[in-house]
Every structure is written in C-alpha cells, then in structure tokens.
C-alpha cells in the first residue's frame, strides 16, 4: 500500500475507450467499437526511476477510437492505442541469512489501455513518454500506482454493489 500523498493519480487504463470490434458481439453495446486501422508493432520500456523499476510492453495500433461519453453517446476519433501491461517494482530490503540485502519487490502488475489522439499530439509519443512523461520522476511513478489503486478500489466497490443487487433480486423473487 502506498503512503497517502497529494499527488494527482495518473490512469494508464482508460475505461472510456471501448474494446476492439470482434472481441465482443456488436449487440452487447449496440454501437460501433474501436476499430484497428493498422498494427504499428510493439514498444517496450525497461527503466529505473529512483527506487522504482518499470517494465512495460504494449502493442501499438493506429485505430479509429470509440470513447464512451455516456451510455448513449460515443465520440469517435483517430489516434494510437497502447494495449499492454506494466510491472512496477519498488526497492526494498530483504533478509538473507544474517544480513540485509537490497533488491526489488513487485508492487503492481497492471494493464495499459490508453490512447493518444491525433488532436492531442503528433507525432505519437513513445511508450516511455506515455508512462513517464517528459521528465521521469518518482512522483510520477507514485501517481501511476495511485491511479491503479483507485481503479482497483472502484472495481471492488462496483462488484460488491452488483453482488448485493443480485442478492436482493433473488431474495425478492422468492
């Protein structure tokens, strides 16, 4: 768990970007999904920022992106979609026999699902710039970890609510 900080969270998983066509039946959403225009290969990041080690891999897609603005409105624009994963390790002490050694312990393994639209920036930035910005700092890494903590907390709350609603629906049907 991260220490409480005033750092604004950074989200590398954008839930407003709808999935690729073909992953789910069209009828689920009732409107177009994100469409792949061209595969742009892979990008990788393996770097150390202060006491953090970041390893990330994404597949890049030139895509017609579908952003869900509300349950009835989808905005479509073109850009580059970053689809992959990130692992963040933090430096820590390990006990080895009678001495303490330093190494890295896994803090997070998460998904990257984000996009940079053509209106936001051209040329499209590398994965390193998307994840770490222009100047990599420990504060930015903490902000990314905070973003994933918030997403995880919100997901758990939504799942608990859904389970509770199903329980109530079942109780009422008796």
Average confidence (pLDDT) over 91-105: 88
**Over 41-106, what HEC string results?**
EEEEEEEEECCEEEEEEEEEEEEEEEEEEECCEEEEEEEEEEEEEEEEEEEEEEEECCEEEEEEEE
- Cα–Cα distance between 106 and 108 in angstroms, integer? 6
Strands 35-49 and 99-117: what pairing?
unpaired
Q: Which residue has the higher pLDDT, 61 or 29?
A: 61
Picking from 113, 28, 1, 124, the residue whose alpha carbon sits closest to that of residue 67 is 113
Say if pTM beats, i.e. exceeds, 0.75. Answer: yes
Tens digits of residue pLDDT in 101-150: 889 999 999 999 999 998 887 777 899 999 999 999 999 999 999 999 99
Rounded to the nearest 5°, which phi and psi values hold at 116? -115, 115
Tens digits of residue pLDDT in 43-71: 999 999 999 999 999 999 999 998 887 76
* Per-residue pLDDT, 28: 52
Rounded to the nearest 5°, which phi and psi values hold at 4? -65, 135
């Amino acid at each position: 768990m991260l220490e409480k900080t005033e750092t604004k969270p950074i989200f590398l998983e954008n839930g407003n970007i709808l999935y690729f066509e073909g992953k789910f039946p069209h009828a689920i959403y009732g409107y177009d999904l994100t469409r792949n225009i061209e595969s742009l290969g892979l990008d990788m990041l393996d770097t150390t920022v202060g006491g953090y080690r970041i390893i990330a891999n994404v597949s890049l897609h030139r895509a017609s992106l579908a952003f869900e603005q509300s349950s009835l409105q989808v905005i479509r624009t073109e850009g580059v979609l970053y689809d992959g994963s990130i692992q963040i390790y933090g430096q820590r002490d390990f006990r080895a026999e009678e001495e303490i050694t330093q190494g890295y312990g896994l803090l997070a393994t998460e998904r990257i699902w984000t996009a940079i639209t053509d209106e936001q920036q051209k040329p499209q930035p590398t994965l390193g710039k998307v994840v770490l910005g222009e100047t990599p700092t420990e504060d930015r890494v903490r902000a990314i970890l905070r973003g994933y903590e918030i997403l995880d907390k919100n997901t758990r709350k939504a799942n608990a609510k859904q389970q509770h609603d199903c329980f109530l629906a079942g109780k009422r049907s008796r």
